[in-house]
Amino acid sequence: MSNILHVGLNCIEPILDMPTNRSIPNKRWHLAFTAIYSSRALYSLLNQKKKKKSRKLPVPSNPSFVVLNVKPEAFSSIDHTTLIAIVNEKNFNKLLEFGGIEGVADALETGIKNGIDGSVNDVALRQEAFGSNTYQRPPAKRLFHFVVEAFKDLTILILIFCAALSLGFGIKENGVKEGWYDGGSIFVAVFLVISVSAVSNFRQNRQFEKLSKVSNNIKVDVVRNGRRQQISIFEVVVGDVVCLKIGDQVPADGLFLDGHSLQVDESSMTGESDHVEINSYHNPFLFSGTKVADGYAQMLVTSVGMNTTWGEMMSTISRDTNEQTPLQARLNKLTSSIGKAGLAVAFLVLVVLLVRYFTGNTEDENGNQEFNGSNTKADDIVNSVVRIIAAAVTIVVVAIPEGLPLAVTLTLAYSMKRMMVDQAMVRKLSACETMGSATTICTDKTGTLTLNQMKVTKFWLGQDPIEDSSLISTDLLNLIQQGVALNTTGSVYRATSGSNYEFSGSPTEKAILSWAVLELDMEMEILIKDFTILHVEAFNSEKKRSGVSIRSEADHNTVHVHWKGAAEMILAMCSSYYDASGRMKDMDDGERMTFEQIIQGMAASSLRCIAFAHKQIPEEEHEIRETSQKLEEDSLTLIGLVGIKDPCRPGVRKAVEDCQYAGVNVKMITGDNIFTATAIATECGILRPDQGINNEAVVEGEVFRNYTPEERMEKVDKIRVMARSSPFDKLLMVQCLKQKGHVVAVTGDGTNDAPALKEADIGLSMGIQGTEVAKECSDIIILDDNFASVATVLKWGRCVYNNIQKFIQFQLTVNVAALVINFVAAISAGEVPLTAVQLLWVNLIMDTLGALALATEQPTKELMQRPPVGRTEPLITNIMWRNLLVQALYQIAVLLTLQFKGESIFGVNEKVKDTLIFNTFVLCQVFNEFNARKLEKKNVFKGIHKNKLFLGIIGITIILQVAMVEFLKKFADTERLNWGQWGACLGIAAISWPLGWVVKCISVSKKPFLSNLRWQEHHFLLYVCTKI
């Protein structure tokens, strides 16, 4: 044992080697560590020895050493529960007792400037100690929930009632062995309809859950190990330093570290609409889920996930996926109306059949009169009445188009999935179909029409362009560097002296910072240390400028005010300028005009113009102005102008032309000046080359705002570009367009765009540059910020509407034909040729499989060659009425001919005749399904090879029909057909193709048919009134 101990001590000898220059406290700690380590080594050796000894050997009850755990638990110096309570209760006094914000940062082992270490182990340790930034979601709805919901549908309830009646009457008339077929088959059909509907809704719910996870995965700027970087909101941990700017969602609970003019919208937590000011000396408390309304800041995260109030609240909320779109509501109304019509027809048939029976106008199979007064047995009367009721029930079953709601669900779910692939995430289902009706798109410029990859390409000092920065005087260069480094929300990071720079912030900030660092040799870290920031006015889309007041550490008697922003706005605040040599000169009207021409020249080259200005004021004057919290805005000195190039996106011109060709007006609303806006709009194809700034097509936001309401309504349609616009101007334009009857889609990325996004019929937010506020107010998020994706959304919106119209035409043809055939046959012959089983079979394959085939057609170029669908345009157009009525009349004529003359034509018995009617009817629907692919085009086979699902469904339908006729004779009440009879059925059904081609040659009025009837009725009444 002594040998082992000797070896163990040799191993730690370097650790125990104590230098002589240690302080006494350090020596004591070192000796304590040595004693503890030795004790633990002895304890370990004793345990090893003890295991080798026999169990009979006595074990010492009182060891002669003390075991100490020298590794403390992580973050043991902080009571996290108390810290959570301090933030939740906004208890500033308790925070001071905790050591203030600095004390909390020390306890959380966070550097206020550099953040946490950010290594994998550090993050894992923090997640283990304080939890992850996720919250428990309510359990997802199971399949059984959607089955129960499907049972609540009125259509399903009517079908179940009919099935129960049919089952009871069938057993009563034919016994259990054969009487269950009709009622049982209806139950099977109902079961299949419920299964398909429940599974479809269940999958849609799962899709919403996935979309919800994607939309909640917000990117957050944090500082880790001195480097600013973007991470997922779910990766934020306690101790992180988070950078916040206007429009951001606060990702966790925490404390204000540093920043300026920070105002937060806490309405999501408190319900109060007033913005709350956040600062380090009165209210440093920030809460997860709130939104930054103004300013910028850095915050220290103190609690995440379920330890926040937001997390607790969100864990109890489940996303509602039962949203009913306007189209679904209209289809439900249509389904209900058709169902009522079916009930009326069924009741009429019931009355007619009962009257015919009880008046002795019906005969049995032997040709004898069925009802003969008192001579007829009661049992025979009951059986006859049961048969009559079953016929009426069958008509009800046929009349209800239960496939319509399913078709909407399928096409919306399919289009949402496909739109996600095409870089558009749908947040509200109604937007899918509303986008198809859009008549105007109001789009941003930066990042949507352009690439948002900005670079400084022009620099002017005074009235001279500067190509070489070495020609700039030292004092002026220092002023430029101060204006860039200290008046920014961006940052510069460089790991080592030889590595590349990393720039963060908005694209404009990154462009200016990279120019200043790489071209002007700006040292941002040094400048931040040499100056103290006194007050900041943060940039927003209304002011279009930002300002800062600073004081040098070397000179406490002077305050410098720096402004940066839209060139013409900054120019208006200046009364002097610096020339290239650094001399200050007064700015007269002539020189001001020269600067305006320089700005216009850069703008005409599609450059965004940014100006820098400066003013030096005494400390005393600054103290007087500090009470009003306003920076000096007058008599500034212009430092210089920069021109930033942001190239147009490839393909944006074609996307704009596609929209215009589709009858959709594209308007550009931008904060840039009128010359830049005009140049970009012309480049993108929004403006023609002959439409310049003197044309009514281009207007500034202020001019539009100052129009009278009448002038705005008169000119709004002509406007193509609105420059120097504020969010209020955008809202005003949307309101005007909607008043004129337009369906308006609006793109937006900023917090202040929220009102316009809400007001628009379709709000489109930007996934990359968009703030969380803008995304929450939108209906669709454009994930790649590309206008081409907006055009794709427009195409998909039209596709959704078109697919549903195709299915409605197809479905109503089936319903009208089946209803008329059974009604006429029941009235004339007292029986129905198509049994309940056969009709349910037709309904099932046509509804479910037909919906899958027609509701999943992909968008075509033809969709973008039509004008938009109006708000009030009927769901069933005159073209659809033409197509479906001709096909339905053809089917009715053929099948009624078979009903009354089929036996003599084909020389078959009644059973085979009924099978021929059933088979011909189904095959007519299969061929008519091809006709339904194109509502207007004559060539219905164009592009069919691309839709493999459609061809597969046609094949499956035919196979199932063969099985029904040839193998399921008892279940379907059919007889086998020979090859000649099959050929006749196919030949009759195939005529629907040339018939469909011919009928599309007949032109119809675009004015709704029913409105013509109402117009004629109105004029007839007027005529009568005048005669009276």
Phi/psi for 277 (5° steps) reads -80, 135
Nearest to 990 by CA among 940, 1028, 935: 940
- Is residue 836 within 8 Å of residue 166, measured between CB atoms? yes
Query: From CA 28, how far away is CA 831, in angstroms rounded?
Result: 109
Burial class for 874, CB neighbours closer than 10 Å (0-12, 13-18, 19+): middle
From residue 390, how far is each of 338, 790, 836, 968, 1008 by CA, in Å? Answer: 20, 53, 8, 21, 38
What residues act catalytically? 444
Strand 227-232 and strand 558-566: the pairing is unpaired
- Is residue 247 within 8 Å of residue 265, measured between CB atoms? no
Query: From CA 562, how far away is CA 480, in angstroms rounded?
Result: 9
Helices (H), 830-909: 836-844, 850-855, 878-906
Helix (H), strand (E) at residue 520: helix 507-520
Query: From CA 764, how far away is CA 761, in angstroms rounded?
Result: 10
- Is residue 214 within 8 Å of residue 278, measured between CB atoms? no
- Is residue 534 within 8 Å of residue 550, measured between CB atoms? yes
Question: H/E/C letters for each residue in 97-147?
Answer: HCCHHHHHHHHCCCECCCEECCCHHHHHHHHHHHCCCCCCCCCCCCHHHHH
439: how many CB neighbours lie within 10 A of its CB?
21
Both tokens of 855, joined, read 């509701």
Residue 73 DSSP one-character state: P
Q: Count CA atoms closer than 13 A to 467's CA, side-chain side.
A: 0
62: how many CB neighbours lie within 10 A of its CB?
4
Considering only CA atoms, give the Rg of the chain.
Answer: 39
- Is residue 236 within 8 Å of residue 180, measured between CB atoms? no
Helix (H), strand (E) at residue 933: none
Return contacts of 161-166, CB within 8 angstroms, 24+ apart: 162/186, 162/393, 162/396, 162/397, 162/836, 163/187, 163/190, 165/389, 165/390, 165/393, 166/390, 166/393, 166/394, 166/836
Both tokens of 490, joined, read 């961006």
Helices (H), 376-440: 378-399, 403-421, 430-434
Query: From CA 63, how far away is CA 247, in angstroms rounded?
Result: 64
Query: From CA 736, how far away is CA 667, in angstroms rounded?
Result: 13
Query: From CA 257, how far away is CA 762, in angstroms rounded?
Result: 39
30: how many CB neighbours lie within 10 A of its CB?
16
Contacts of 359 (CB under 8 A, 6+ apart): 371
| Interior angle at CA 467, CA 461 and CA 468, nearest 5 | 95
Query: From CA 167, how far away is CA 886, in angstroms rounded?
Result: 36
SS3 873: coil
Nearest to 670 by CA among 687, 695, 694: 687
